[in-house]
Every structure is written in structure tokens, then in C-alpha cells.
Amino acid sequence: MKKILDLIGAQVQAAFADAGYEARYGRVTLSNRPDLCEYQCNGALAAAKAYHKAPIVIAEEVLEKLEKLEMFSEVSAVKPGFLNLKLSGAYLVSYLSEIAQSDKLGCGPADSHRKVVLDYGGPNVAKPLHVGHLRSAVIGESLKRICRFMGDEVIGDVHLGDWGLQMGLIIEELKDRQPELPYFDENYRGEYPKEAPFTISELEEIYPAASARSKEDEVFAKRAHDATFRLQNREPGYWALWEHIMRVSVEDLKKNYEKLNVTFDIWKKESDAQPYIPGMIQRMKEKGLAHESQGALVVDVKQESDTKEIPPCMLVKSDGATLYPTTDLATLVEREELFDPDMVLYVVDKRQELHFTQVFRCAKMAGIVPDETELRFLGFGTMNGKDGKPFKTRAGGVMRLETLIGEITQAVYDKVQENRTVDEQEAWEMSGKIALSALKYGDLSNQASKDYIFDVDRFTAFEGNTGPYILYTIVRIKSILRKYAENIGGDPERAELREPVNSSEKALMLLLARFGDVMDQVYRELAPHKLCAYIYELSNTFNSFYHETKILAEQDRDRQSGYIALICLAKQVLEKSIDLLGFSAPDRM
């Protein structure tokens, strides 16, 4: 289904051509003066230079062609050469009726179907999810849903950190605590226990203790490095312990991501890329890209067009150890082999931009990915507290993600209980949905690359630009539709749109007609915050219509049917939008 802006643009371009001018001057945009018109075209100003005519003359000639079209209720030419356009009510009804009957509410599919590997989440195993993991998960989940909705095939990969020094630290700390375990007996030849020798809570205590100890105890730090090396060489006992760590950690991670309504298609990890490293490094050497520098193996990635220093990408340290760039390049080799993607998209902290610049350049130079494959870095900013510093607990520590979710849910529950119209169980279920909307919308309504202030009181407010306000609008529509069915006996599904009779009704129609254009922009720019801005405007516009219109008290049944059909479509658009953002609405609030 064609977008409303494209349809209007096609008519205006045809009018320019009929008037004897190049069609390209008929570009139409949303009006920047909604008090004067709904859409506008400024092409006559540009055409005036090419055709040596006054722009108002050109605009008036095009106006004569446009006035004959049923699409418009009003067209005017305004000095120095603007064309102001208003859509007719009949055309809006026709277009919105088509949207309501389409599978995707008039959106997509995108011009080109892509296969996308989306790298988001990225937690380290053996550590609890904390607020620092929130943005990658929330933004990545929304982008996955948006790209799929627009027709892409998306493979979401959590890409676990499971292969670094933290494993050696855990193993050595566990060895000191429980030296009798068979994993540390080099002469042990039996089967290792199926049950892990620790719980997730114990594991999460072991790592920080080991990390702190390694900073003060050089001998222990050396042991941890040696243990990491032995693990990476698949020493049986250490490998069996690693498998326990992975299983216990992943089970806990899945449980916590589920609370965020975040899922992944594959649970790949850094260790999966290890078999690809030798071949990848050999390829770099054969192409003359990798060379030694002070004992390390590096690739020069600086380009003449660089305006800032881009250091060489280090593949192997002087002591033979590989690094994050090595693993990320090997992961690209693996992804190319397994998925042959058109794009690999990384949703990562923006402070890692230099790292990914180096990795992407290496990958292209070495031919790890084809030239036409897009490697894209979407860097996000920091979630800060009211003091403007990275969000912390009251005690100054890093807050666990489940603690944050719990605090927001409790804050919402307290507000819900003030109303006291629902029982305990429903109150908690409702609070969970509202809290998730507060958390996700609070994050996604900000441009991803920018830092933002996390304010529980503001994010959980039922008024203003918040998730709960969006949900409240949806719930209000649901309530009207229930009353229409129960008290009046009407069937919302049989309601039919009618031409608008007042400005607030037409404003709602115009905004719903823009959904396809908005989604196209959100998809192209990978910008969930623009979808948030749209549904906030849509919620405000609906609520203005609601307050100015007696929907249920309307005596004219045809007119009432038109109102019901319109708010049904508003509900559909709002519900689809919040689903793309990763949350849902309760039936009442």
C-alpha cells in the first residue's frame, strides 16, 4: 500500500508536468504551518530559477491543475510561491478504510528485503544483568521488531561474553573454596557431575570476589590467567566447569530478559568464534594486511580522509593473546558462513565506536564480508541518575536490572492501589505492564545516541510524554468500545468511517494516515524515538477529539458509527506501535 505522502506527491508532480514544468519540483512535505494547511509544496520557488518566472506565477499555473482533483478540499497559492494543500474528507475516509483493511496498517514492506544479523544484549556470563545492560536490550528488541514488521528477515543474537579472564578468575576462586572438586584433579578420569557445584547467586558472588582479589594478589592474578589459557585449550575439568557456568548463567539471563519482554533467536557466544580465528589471521597475513609492531600483530586501518587519529587494529598481543577485535572479526567470519547477511547491526555503547570502526575496516579490507554488506554501529548513550551521573543504587553501587524493574513496578502498584478498583492479583499484573511501558518508553523516547536522565517519578506518571500515558489512552479507547457494545448494542467491527465533521476529528484522521510515512522513516533511520514521538502526538490528538466529541451520547447512529470506526483504527495503530516498542497495554487502568 502506498504511503499518503507518496500519493499526494504523485498528484502534485503530475500537475507540475501538466503545467509544463519538470515533475521533480512537485515534492510535497508535511506542512510546517498546520494553522494554514496540512501539506505544502515549495517547488515553484526552485523552478522559478530554472524557468525564469516569478514563483507565484508557476504556483498559480500548477494550482489550476490541482483544483480539479477530488483528493483536495482546498488548494491555494501563496506568495512568494508556496502551494498549500488540504485533503478532502472523502479522500481521507477512502485512504483510512484501506489502511484498516490492510495487514500492516498501510506499512511496508520496505523496498528491499534484507537479511539482518542484529547483535544486541551482550552480557557477560556469571554476572547479573544490571542497568548498564538495559539500553542495548531495549533498543535492540525494538529494532528487531521494527525491521521484521517492515519485511526484513532478522536474526537476533545475544552474543554472550564467555571467553575472557572472568572465567579463569571464577575457576581459581572456586578451586580455593572447594579444592576437593573433581574438576581440579588432573588424574580424574570419570564422568563429571551433571549438577553445577554452585547456584547462580553463589556464582554472582564468586566473580566480584575473585576480581577484587586479583587486583591485590599478583600470584592469584597469574593463576587466573593460566586457568583461562588452560580452559581455552579445553582442559577437561576446566571445560566441564565452564559448561556448568554457561548453563546456570544462561538460564538466569533468559529469566531476566523475559521480564523485559526481550528474546533472542540465537544465543551465540565469543567462544563460538574461536575456531575461526586462525584462518582469519592467516587471511590477514596472506593479503599483506597484518604485520608485526613491537611484537604484536596489527592491521593499519587509518584512511587519508580521517580527521582524527585511528590507531592500528591489534589482532594478537606480544604475549600471543588475542583481543576483542580478533574475536569480533572471527564472529563476522562465522556470521558470513552461517547467515550470509545483507547487514550486521551492532547495538552497543557509543563509547565503543572506535573499536567498531577498526573492526569494520579490517573486515572490508580483508574481504571477510563482501563490499555490499552493510556493517552498522548504532551507539547508545548513558542512562543517568538525577545527578547527571551514571545511574546507581542509593548506596552508590551498580543496580541490578531486576531490582530496577521491581522498584518501578512497586511505584506503579502504589499508584494503582490509590484507585482501589481492582483486586490484588490484577493490580500486580496491571502494574507489571505499566511498569514495563514506563521503563521502555522512558528509554526509547530518547534518541539512542544521547544520554538521558532516568526519573522514576516522571516515567511512571499517567500524564505527559510517558509510557503509562500511552497505555491510558489505549485503555480509554477500549473502555469506549466496551460501553458501545454493552450499552448501545453496537458492533465496533461493523462500524464504518464517515467524513469528518469537525477539526479534531479530521486532525485524528490526518495523523492516522501518516502512520506509513512515520514507520518508513523509523525503519530507514533505525529510530524508535520517532515512533514514540508519533504515538505521543497521536494520543494527544485522540484525547482532544475525545474531549470535544460526544461519542457515546451521539444520537445520529451513522455519525456515531464513524466515530467508533475511527477510534478502532486509532487503537490498532497505538497497539501495533507499542508492540514494536516491546510492551503491551492492560484492559483497564
Residues 133, 36, single domain; the answer is: no
**Exposure of 575 in the CB half-sphere (CA atoms within 13 A):** 16
13 and 53 share one domain: yes
User: What pTM was computed for the model?
Assistant: 0.94
Number of domain units in the chain: 4
Q: Which pLDDT value is given to residue 424?
A: 87
pLDDT 10s digits, 291-329: 999 999 999 999 999 999 999 999 999 988 888 999 999
* Residue ranges making up the domain that contains 289: 115-160+267-381
List the one residue out of 449, 348, 466, 452 whose CA is nearest residue 408. Answer: 466
One domain, residues 244 and 141? no
Q: Which of 102-111, 126-135, 366-375, 506-515 has the lowest mean pLDDT?
A: 102-111
For residue 301, which of 312, 293, 292 has the smallest C-alpha distance?
312
- Is residue 105, in this structure, part of any structural domain at all? no
As beta bridge partners, residue 118 has 156, 345
Report the DSSP beta bridge partners of residue 102.
none
- Distance CA(129)–CA(121), nearest Å, equals 10
Residues 462 and 367 in one domain: no
Does 225 lie in the same domain as 119?
no
Is residue 397 pLDDT above 80, yes or no?
no
**Separation CA 570–CA 396 (nearest Å):** 44
Q: Quick check: is 252 in a domain?
A: yes
Q: How confident is the model at residue 357 (pLDDT cuts 50, 70, 90)?
A: very high
Instruction: Locate 86 and state its grid cell.
Output: 488540504
374 and 303 within one domain: yes
Residue 206 has pLDDT above 70, yes or no: yes
**68-97: average pLDDT:** 97
Q: Average pLDDT of 52-59?
A: 97
Tracing cell 537479511 back to the chain, one arrives at: 115
Give me 215's grid cell: 587486583
Same domain assignment for residues 129 and 255: no
| CATH label of the domain that carries residue 537 | 1.10.730.10
User: Do the domain assignments include residue 282?
Assistant: yes
Q: Which residues of 540-571 are buried (b: 16+ CB within 10 A; e: fewer)?
A: ebbbebbeebebeebeeeebbbbbbbbbbbbb
Domain-located, residue 486 = yes
Identify whether the C-beta of residue 37 lies closer than 8 Å to the C-beta of residue 31. yes
DSSP bridge partners of 5: none
Asked whether residue 56 is assigned to any structural domain, the reply reads yes
Boundary of a domain, candidates 243, 259, 275: 259
Mark whether 440 and 544 lie in a shared domain: yes
C-beta neighbour count of 489 within 10 angstroms: 7
Q: Confirm if 78 and 84 have CB atoms less than 8 A apart.
A: yes
Please check whether residue 487 lies inside any domain of the structure.
yes
Report the alpha-carbon distance of residue 376 to residue 364 in Å, rounded. Answer: 12
Dist. CA 578–CA 259, nearest whole Å: 16
The mean pLDDT value for 151-179 works out to: 95
Whether the pLDDT of residue 57 is over 80: the answer is: yes
Indicate whether 573 and 446 sit together in one domain.
yes
DSSP 479-518: HHHHHHHHHS---GGG-------SHHHHHHHHHHHTHHHH
Query: What residue has cell string 494520543?
Result: 539
Instruction: Please report the sign of the dihedral spanned by the C-alpha atoms of residue 26, residue 27, residue 31, residue 33.
Output: negative
DSSP-assigned letter for residue 454? -
- 3-class SS string, 179-248: CCCHHHCCCCCCCCCCCCCCCHHHHHHHHHHHHHHHHHCHHHHHHHHHHHHHHHCCCHHHHHHHHHHHHH
Same domain, 255 and 368: no
pLDDT tens for each residue of 37-48: 999 999 999 999
Mean of the per-residue pLDDT values of the chain: 94
The CATH number of residue 333's host domain is 3.40.50.620
167 pLDDT higher than 90: yes
**Main-chain dihedrals φ then ψ at residue 390, nearest 5 degrees:** -50, 135
Among 205, 240, 259, where does a domain finish?
259
The whole-number pLDDT of residue 164 equals 84
Beta carbons of 157 and 334 less than 8 angstroms apart: no
Residue 132 lies in a domain: yes
In 3D, which of 104, 118, 101 has the Cα closest to residue 151? 104
Q: 143 near 135, Cβ under 8 Å?
A: no
Indicate which CATH number applies to the domain containing 49. 3.30.1360.70
Give the model confidence (pLDDT) of 412-444 as tens digits.
Answer: 999 888 877 778 888 999 999 999 999 999 999
> Given a cut of 90, is residue 272 above it in pLDDT?
yes
Torsion angles phi and psi, residue 151, rounded to 5: 110, 0
- Same domain? For 323 and 339 the reply is yes
d(CA 48, CA 90): 33
132, with CB counted inside 10 A (0-12, 13-18, 19+), is: middle
Q: What are phi and psi of 315, to 5 degrees?
A: -100, -40
- Vertex 265, ends 156 and 443: CA angle to 5°? 45
Distance CA 406, CA 583 (A): 16
The pLDDT value recorded for residue 110 is: 67
**In angstroms, rounded to a whole number, what is the distance separating the alpha carbons of residues 270 and 159?**
7
Q: Examine residue 100 and state whether it is found in any structural domain, yes or no.
A: no
Residues 413, 514 share a domain: yes
Of the residues 259, 293, 322, the one at which a domain ends: 259
What Cα–Cα distance (Å) separates residue 93 from each residue in 399, 436, 502? 50, 35, 14
